[in-house]
Amino acid sequence: EIKLPEQFNFARHILELNQDRAGKTAYIDDNRKLSYGELAQASRRFAAGLKLAGIHREERILLVMQDTVDMPVALLGAMLAGIVPVPVNTLLPAADYSYMLEHSTASAVVVSEALWPVVQEALAALATQPKIIITGQGAASVAGALSFASVLDTAPLAEADFARTRADDFAFWLYSSGSTGRPKGTVHSHANLFWTAELYGKPVLGVRESDLVFSAAKLFFAYGLGNALTFPLSVGATTVLMPERPTPPAVFKRLTEHRPTVFCGVPTLYVAMLASDELPAKEQVALRICASAGEALSREVGERFHHHFDCHILDGLGSTEMLHIFLSNREGDVHYGSTGRPVPGYQLELRDDNGHAVPNGEIGDLYIRGPSAALLYWANREKSRSTFVGDWVKSGDKYSIDADGYYTYAGRSDDMLKVSGQYVSPIEVESALMGHDSVLECAVIGVPDADGLTKTKAFVVLRHPESACGELEDDLKKFVKSRLAPHKYPRDISFVQLLPKTATGKIQRFKLRAAEGH
């Protein structure tokens, strides 16, 4: 049985583990390759540079960064110094960054040059300004900002100065969204990263030293962070990073040019890849194993992918709170249409509304217990208490178990939707729509498409029903896109005369779902 020492720093652990691989490539992006030796040096320099810039241990730094080799350097460098990186989604509107900067009281924000305009807008709304570090040439035109290169331009942090963190110390945060309220700052420890590699990355996904790993899911997601940092670095593998959005052409380019052996995606992407005319032939790629998470992968999609590439997709379930996958299919035991069985090291329970275990075959609320569980939601005692219940973490998903122990997804226990592998709160979309002058009231639900993927659909009552037209529909979609992260806009809008409501005026979304046949 593995036991971590009390004193443990995940970044230091990774550097020590790969000391003898100094010449081996750790990361490849569109412009650069970084060897393990260079990764160690750059991380140590970044750690020293942050300290020189006046950032102290346990302070947070927000990372608004695209997936390039700078991102692992920033993550590992911060952790080496005991500074807490908070990587965030790069597609958010300015208001979300303002909230996260304020909520985390970040001492610094590290920004990819291309994302500076939206971060600049976010900063304008803040009373207190963090230090600003911008990649590329971005800092040259921003008063007081440091360039990423200048932070790196210092002597590497001496080993004696590595932060003497404990395994249970705060290492990094990830923001996770709920059906109501603001995103929650999910606080993870150094030990948690270690455990996701030990329990899932190595034994289930089977990442090994000879692998070339490519994750379409970005490093700012818990899923991408494991796929493209924790797992490959824990075995000395090489990782390809892609800064742009994971469209099929962008993914095919990497699959055929770099020929990764391990690929991690989400169901929407697998569906889009299989539907594309440009889908590469099996011989053009070198895939050995793939992972899917974010939402349930349908049986047909899994089978079609396997038939085409002769490579399995391991569908699994993880969460930001558990940091990575705790329920999964595995090689030699792939049941498409099911999320598989618990990852050894995690215990799962399905409970009824009274908290009692449900019998096999019945649907229950999923609870998980395992060593990679987050410590808390920052400054949110109420949500921390209702999610982290004793040893157990409430996932918010509903599942059933068949007689052979395989788990099948049965929906969410809250109103949350999973679209393109990311959470969407119907309430958030509704309030964005309500901001449009023409909308009197509205309701948003999830509707499965022909591939079994959830799409958001809005039912809108107009102030002037006669104004309903295709142009207004497009306008409403654009309106939501301009206010929320792009994956949240409703793919379909139906103009209705009224919404089904209870006697007390609560919208009955279940009636809308039933009318859609679900």
Is the Cβ of residue 252 or residue 388 nearer to ligand 3SK in the bound state? 388
CB 326 within 8 A of CB 348: yes
CA–CA distance, 341 with 348 (Å, rounded to integer)? 9
Report the 10 Å Cβ neighbour count for 65: 28
Q: Is 317 in the site for ligand 3SK (CB under 6 A)?
A: yes
Measured at the CA of 256, the angle between CA 250 and CA 261, to 5 degrees, comes to 105
Report the 10 Å Cβ neighbour count for 16: 12
Can you read off the two tokens belonging to residue 39?
């990764």
Can you read off the two tokens belonging to residue 243?
């800064």
Q: Is 318 in the site for ligand 3SK (CB under 6 A)?
A: yes
Q: Is 338 in the site for ligand 3SK (CB under 6 A)?
A: no
In whole angstroms, the minimum distance from the beta carbon of 466 to ligand 3SK comes to 43
Among positions 139, 145, 273, 293, the unique one binding ligand 3SK when judged by CB under 6 A: 293
In whole angstroms, the minimum distance from the beta carbon of 144 to ligand 3SK comes to 36
Dihedral angle sign, alpha carbons of residues 382, 384, 389, 394:
positive
In whole angstroms, the minimum distance from the beta carbon of 422 to ligand 3SK comes to 8
In whole angstroms, the minimum distance from the beta carbon of 265 to ligand 3SK comes to 12
Contacts of residue 469, Cβ cutoff 8 Å, sequence gap at least 6: none
Phi/psi of residue 160, nearest 5 degrees: -60, -20
CA–CA distance, 188 with 225 (Å, rounded to integer)? 12
Interface stretch with ligand 3SK, choices 22-30, 32-40, 315-323, 478-486 (CB under 6 A): 315-323
Question: Considering only residues 17-56, where is the footprint of ligand 3SK by CB under 6 A?
Answer: none
CA–CA distance, 80 with 243 (Å, rounded to integer)? 24
Q: Tokens 């691989």 label which residue?
A: 21
The whole-angstrom distance between residue 203's C-alpha and the CA centroid of its chain comes to 21
Interface stretch with ligand 3SK, choices 34-42, 58-66, 150-158, 311-319 (CB under 6 A): 311-319
Q: Is 340 in the site for ligand 3SK (CB under 6 A)?
A: no
Interface stretch with ligand 3SK, choices 58-66, 314-322, 441-449, 477-485 (CB under 6 A): 314-322
Among positions 222, 393, 401, 453, the unique one binding ligand 3SK when judged by CB under 6 A: 222
First to last CA, the chain: 46
In whole angstroms, the minimum distance from the beta carbon of 184 to ligand 3SK comes to 13
Q: Is 319 in the site for ligand 3SK (CB under 6 A)?
A: yes
Q: Find the helix or strand (DSSP H, E) in which 103 lies.
A: helix 94-103
Q: Is 254 in the site for ligand 3SK (CB under 6 A)?
A: no
- Alpha helical stretches, state H, 276-359: 299-309
Query: Residue 135 to residues 7, 19, 110, 355: CA-CA distances in angstroms?
Result: 32, 27, 8, 49
Q: Is 314 in the site for ligand 3SK (CB under 6 A)?
A: no
Q: Is 238 in the site for ligand 3SK (CB under 6 A)?
A: no
Q: Is 188 in the site for ligand 3SK (CB under 6 A)?
A: no
In the complex, residue closest to ligand 3SK by CB: 318
Instruction: With CB under 6 A as the rule, give the number of residues binding ligand 3SK.
Output: 10
Among positions 320, 329, 338, 384, the unique one binding ligand 3SK when judged by CB under 6 A: 320
Query: Residue 55 to residues 50, 108, 191, 255, 268: CA-CA distances in angstroms?
Result: 6, 8, 23, 39, 40
Is the Cβ of residue 85 or residue 294 nearer to ligand 3SK in the bound state? 294
In whole angstroms, the minimum distance from the beta carbon of 225 to ligand 3SK comes to 8
CB 378 within 8 A of CB 428: no
Q: Is 294 in the site for ligand 3SK (CB under 6 A)?
A: yes
Phi/psi of residue 218, nearest 5 degrees: -75, 165
Is the Cβ of residue 66 or residue 319 nearer to ligand 3SK in the bound state? 319
Site string for ligand 3SK, 363-392 (x = CB under 6 A): ------------------------------
Q: Is 325 in the site for ligand 3SK (CB under 6 A)?
A: yes
Residue by residue, what is the 3-state secondary structure of 121-134?
Answer: HHHHCCCCCCEEEE
Measured at the CA of 64, the angle between CA 117 and CA 123, to 5 degrees, comes to 50
Q: Is 324 in the site for ligand 3SK (CB under 6 A)?
A: yes
In whole angstroms, the minimum distance from the beta carbon of 320 to ligand 3SK comes to 5
Q: What single-letter amino acid sits at 190?
A: H
Interface stretch with ligand 3SK, choices 208-216, 272-280, 316-324, 487-495 (CB under 6 A): 316-324
Among positions 175, 223, 378, 495, the unique one binding ligand 3SK when judged by CB under 6 A: 223
Q: Which residues bind ligand 3SK (CB under 6 A)?
A: 222-223, 293-294, 317-320, 324-325
